[in-house]
Structure formats: structure tokens, C-alpha cells
Amino acid sequence: MINQIYKKELLIFVIGLIIVMTAMLPYLILGENMIVFYPDQLDGEVLGYILHAKYLFTGIDTYPEMMNGVSENGLFPPAPLLVLLYKILRPSIAFVCNQIFCMVIAYIGMYLCVKTVVNNSIIAAFCGILFAYLPLLSVYGLCQYGLPLLSYAFYLLYKGKHKIVVLGVVVFYGFMSSLVLIGYGILGFTALYLLWLMKKKQIKSHKWFLIGWLSLLCVYLFVNNKLLLQIFGIGNQRPSHKEVIVRYGQNVIDAFRAVFYEGTIHTPTHQKGIVIVTIVILVLGFYGYRRLNRQMCIIFRLLLIGFGFNLFCALFYAFYQSNLIADLRNQAGGVIKEFQADRIYWLTTFVWYFLLALDLCLIWEWIKGCVRNKKIVCIVVGSVFLSGVVFMSAATVYYYSDFSKNLHRLQQGESYPRITWSDFYAPEIYAQIDSFIGRKKSSYRTLSLGIYPAIALYNGFYCLDGYSNNYDLSYLYAFRNIIKGELEKDESLRKYYDEWGCRCYVLSAELGINNYLVHKSTCPKGISLALNINAAKKLGARYLFSAVKISNAKELGITLLREKPFETPDSYYAIYLYGLGTT
């Protein structure tokens, strides 16, 4: 009997794993025509992995391809171990392999967590699949995808089971995640639990939990040693542009709603339905708490704790984003201003789908109780409610998933209005430009207008512009001399650069903020720029790649090197090539 149950559970687990692996099919078929969410991925982190992989084991810690030499701290990878994948594989293949790997880890971790608590393989597999299919940003490695498995690992360490293997999982998570994005939150909350164990004088009986915490801490300290030295100003550190960043607050209610009810760009959990269902079950649970058996009482308490945790994280985020805290951080400066403690909300992604599993378990157990008591109406109501929750959850995740978008791409082809990997990086266009210039790329520097500089960088060009959240303050000012005229046209543009500056781009008042994907069919016929070309040439700029025609090029002293833009019939951009001349 036990063997039959085990086989059934294993079959359910494998079926779930196959469904997760199915996500690989569109990627394999589409190749570089796959649809990828490009913000914070293609325009930034992917390039960080590529450059770290290029100079891995060389001892070089300043990368000349970007900003006339950006330090490795300026492009620090969120998942350091992932650099090895980019070292041995083409970027697009490395990206897909990491995406599938993260989804598999997400499924396995969620399955194990849910199965341990609710002892229901179907619910565990269902919630594991949903969590794996969430459109989380895989460039962050296991930061969020790996949270369920890490939680399960700490649970086993708490119980003192499979200690060596589990410690390996904890260490692996440390190398595949980021201290500054999520690691500090994990270490912080587990440290609080350790203090509680110490207070209860139970630390000795759970020493492996402490060892796991110390292991994760050591990995983060080892991987982030240079970054930590810079943050705390130890050694011969150069001033970072972070010193001039100004923090602005936002509406507290909007901030709370985004994290607790809707999800953000970094936590696309789309949890509206889960929030509503959980509140309904908590209210009903309080009413009928005395009727619950011991196991259901435990699950209900976990539901309450998890909901409370996510509520706390959302409230903390909203408070931290308030105008009051923003002003205090600006006044304090240094580490206090730079440290984004509000990122603890990244921990909530896993918790929401764990709560969904608890919701489903409580509904299912209630239906089973109604069956035993032959309450037909309650059985019907419960079954409809359960079916509705399952369908709503599955439909929501499928709709927002990358799998859905790539299926539509397969069905509709190029008519599907989403940017693909090849659309974004446009290798064919940049190959044409490289052939036209006919010079060694390292012998000159480029600028980009209306196009992410990451695209030129991806195609091997050396760029004065780029995206970095940690680069030399002196370069911020040097580059500012190029775009000073444009910044003076628009106060919001000036604040964007002077008070944030992570996007060290050729900004245009006519194009506006965040307009770096100018499609060739909708681009302006021409724009007038106020650029200091001499300042650009002093930094080494010789060519400007522009997605729009510059109407005052002659006045600026730059030359359109070919009247016809570089493009292909299916390309997203049409790029004009301007020469800046020689010094």
C-alpha cells in the first residue's frame, strides 16, 4: 500500500516536472526569435554576465568596452556562478539554459515545501508549476526562483536531516543569488529566528540551522568582498556616482498596493486573486476555527503567519518609500542612503504561492468534511469555489507567463507585437555597420541615441555610454558635458541624470525619458540636438548610432556617413551612422 502511494506521488511529481520542462519547447523552436522581457535583462544584466565571462580568470577588473573602463563592481552579476554558463555558451543559449534551470529549481522547491506541509502531491505539483511559470527575471538567478528550495533546505537543517547535502544546497543558492538584492533579507529574518531559538535555549538542538546560516553568510562575504569594501569605504576607493543620487518618495498607498496586491516589475506574482481568496478563507477560518482538526489548525496558523509576513513586507516597503524616509536617507547619506532595505518584498513571491497551496488544502479538507457529513449544498459550493480558485490561478499565471507570449509568437510569427532577442540586439544591422566602418572596434568609441547602448555593446562595440548602478562619479560629470545642452532644455531630464544617473546615455529632450527603443516606422522625421561634440571626442567618441535622423547635424559638426540607414526588412530599428571626426 505504501509502495503504491509512493509510486502515485512520484508519478504526479514527474508529470508536473514534464509540464515545467515544456516551457523549453518554444525557446528551442524560436531560438533568438524568442520573446524576452528586456528591461533589466537585455539592457543590463545580460551584458554584465557577458563581460564578466569574457574577462573571467584574467585578473582584469576594469572592462574597457563600456564607459571608458567600468569596474567589475559597476556590473556586478546578481548570480555570480551564472558567469560560468556565459563563459562556455553563446549568450542566448546561456540565457535559455538558465531560464529552464531556474524554473525546474522553482518547481522542485515549491513541490517539496508544499508536500511537507499539506501532504498532498496534486496541490504541491500544481502550485510548483504555477510558481515556476511566473515571469520572474531569470537574470537574477535563484534570487526568487530558489527561495522555496532554500526554505526547504533550512527546514531540513532545523530538523537535522541530510545535513551535508542540504548545506550544499544552501551554498549553491549563495553563489546563484545576490546579497544586495535578496540575501540580506534572508540572512536578516533567519538571524531573528536564531535569536528566538537562543532565547528559548534551543540553539544547541538546532545547531545545523545555525551552521546553514553561517555558510550562506560566508558565501555572500566571499563573493561580495570587493563590493562590501567599496560600500564601507575601506581601502583606496574612488567616489561612486551613487554619492549624488537623490532619493524621492512616492505615494504610500500606491506603493503598498503595488507590492501587496498587484506585484512589481521585480515581483510579477500577479497575486490579486490569491489575496482575495486568502482573506476569505482567513475570515471563514476564524469563524470555524474550533471545528478544525489539529493538522488543519497548523495549516490555518501557517496561512495567517504567511499572510501577516507579506502584509508586513508591503507595509515596510510603503513606509520606506515614503517622502519622510526618502528625506531622512538623503540627509544621512552614505550606506543609509544607498541601502535599499525595502527589497525584502522580494521574499513575498514564494510566500504568495505557498499561501495558495494552503488555501487549496483548507478548501479541499472542508469539502471532504462535507462529504463525510453528506452536506450536498456545501459540497457543491465548496467544489465550485475550489474549481474557481484553481482556474483563476492557472489562467492568471498562463496569461502573464513568458511561455504564453512565446506560444503566441509561434502562432502569429512576426505580426505578434513583442520584441524578441534578435529584434532587440539586431546583430545583422550592427554587422553591416561594422563592415561599413571597417576599423578594429577597440580603436574607437561610440555613442547611441534612441537605442540602448547595451545593443552596441552586445555586438562588440566599445561604448562611452551604458547602464551601471555603480560607476565613477568623475565619469558622470565628464559625460554630462556631452549632454549638458539637452539637460538644460528639460528639468525632468536634468533631474533624471543629475539625481540618479544610472543611465549614462545620450539623452534627448525631444525623445524624452526612457525612450530608447525607437521603432523605424514611428520614429520622428528628425530631431534637433544640443550636444557638445568636442566633449564627446575628448572621451574618444568617433561614431554616433542614432535611431532618428539629426536635423542639425551640420551645425553640430557631425557627418551622416550614409544617407540610407542601416536596416533589414524585418528589423526593429533603422540606424543612422554619424561620424564625429577626429580630434
pLDDT tens, residue by residue, 71-81? 888 888 999 99
* pLDDT above 60: residue 1: no
Q: How far apart are CA 75 and CA 82, in angstroms?
A: 14
Q: How far apart are CA 399 and CA 378, in angstroms?
A: 31
Residue 527: HSE in the Cβ half-sphere, 13 Å Cα cutoff: 19
Question: Who contacts 576 (Cβ-Cβ below 8 Å, separation ≥6)?
Answer: 545, 546, 547, 548, 549, 550, 560, 562, 565, 566
Q: How far apart are CA 487 and CA 54, in angstroms?
A: 35
Q: How far apart are CA 166 and CA 145, in angstroms?
A: 17
Q: Are strands 541-546 and 445-449 parallel, antiparallel or unpaired?
A: parallel
Residue with cell 508519478: 11
pLDDT of residue 530: 92
Q: What angle do CA 299, 304, 305 make, to 5 degrees?
A: 95
pLDDT of residue 289: 65
Q: How far apart are CA 64 and CA 58, in angstroms?
A: 14
pLDDT of residue 583: 43
483 vs 228: which has the higher pLDDT: 483
Q: Are strands 541-546 and 576-579 parallel, antiparallel or unpaired?
A: antiparallel
| pLDDT-derived band at 370, boundaries 50, 70, 90 | confident
Q: Which of 63, 67, 69, 42 shows the shortest CA–CA distance to 51?
A: 63
Q: Which of 100, 97, 94 shows the shortest CA–CA distance to 47?
A: 94
pLDDT in tens, 374-423: 788 888 888 898 999 999 999 999 999 999 999 999 998 888 888 999 99
pLDDT in tens, 244-282: 888 888 899 999 999 999 888 888 999 999 999 999 999
pLDDT in tens, 188-224: 999 999 999 998 888 888 899 999 999 999 999 999 8
pLDDT in tens, 427-472: 999 999 999 999 999 999 999 999 999 999 999 999 999 999 888 9
DSSP-derived letter for residue 259 is I
pLDDT of residue 306: 95
Residue with cell 510603503: 318
Question: Who contacts 49 (Cβ-Cβ below 8 Å, separation ≥6)?
Answer: 77, 82, 83, 85, 86, 91, 94, 139
Q: How far apart are CA 351 and CA 210, in angstroms?
A: 22
Q: How far apart are CA 577 and CA 433, in angstroms?
A: 8
Q: How far apart are CA 159 and CA 176, in angstroms?
A: 25
pLDDT of residue 520: 85
pLDDT of residue 582: 59
Rg over CA atoms, the chain:
26
What is the phi-psi region of residue 426: left when phi exceeds 0, alpha when psi lies from -120 to 50, beta otherwise? left
Q: Which of 573, 563, 549, 546 shows the shortest CA–CA distance to 446?
A: 546
Question: Who contacts 455 (Cβ-Cβ below 8 Å, separation ≥6)?
Answer: 424, 425, 426, 430, 448
| pLDDT-derived band at 142, boundaries 50, 70, 90 | very high
> What proportion of the chain, given as a percentage, has pLDDT over 90?
68
**566 - beta bridge partners?**
575
Q: How far apart are CA 187 and CA 184, in angstroms?
A: 5
pLDDT in tens, 307-332: 999 999 999 999 999 999 989 988 88
pLDDT in tens, 461-505: 999 999 998 889 999 999 999 999 999 999 999 999 999 988 999
Residue with cell 489575496: 275
Q: How far apart are CA 358 and CA 156, in angstroms?
A: 20
Burial label, 302 (beta-carbon count in 10 A; 0-12, 13-18, 19+): middle
| pLDDT-derived band at 294, boundaries 50, 70, 90 | confident
pLDDT of residue 89: 95
pLDDT of residue 367: 87
- Phi, psi at residue 518, to the nearest 5°? -85, 110
pLDDT of residue 334: 80
pTM of this prediction? 0.94
For 78, 126, 356, the CA distances from 10, given in Å and listed in that order, are: 34, 14, 22
* pLDDT above 70: residue 97: yes
Average pLDDT (522-534) is 88
**Cβ(507)–Cβ(495) under 8 Å?**
no
Report which secondary-structure segment, H or E, holds 402.
helix 402-412
Q: Which of 317, 200, 128 shows the shortest CA–CA distance to 309?
A: 317
Q: Are strands 466-467 and 62-63 parallel, antiparallel or unpaired?
A: unpaired
> What proportion of the chain, given as a percentage, has pLDDT over 70?
98
pLDDT in tens, 336-366: 888 888 899 999 999 999 999 999 999 998 8
* pLDDT above 90: residue 153: yes
Question: Who contacts 288 (Cβ-Cβ below 8 Å, separation ≥6)?
Answer: none
pLDDT of residue 130: 97
Q: Which of 382, 161, 131, 141 shows the shortest CA–CA distance to 268?
A: 131
Q: What is the mean pLDDT of the chain?
A: 91
Report which secondary-structure segment, H or E, holds 377.
helix 376-400
Per-residue cell: 409 = 509568437
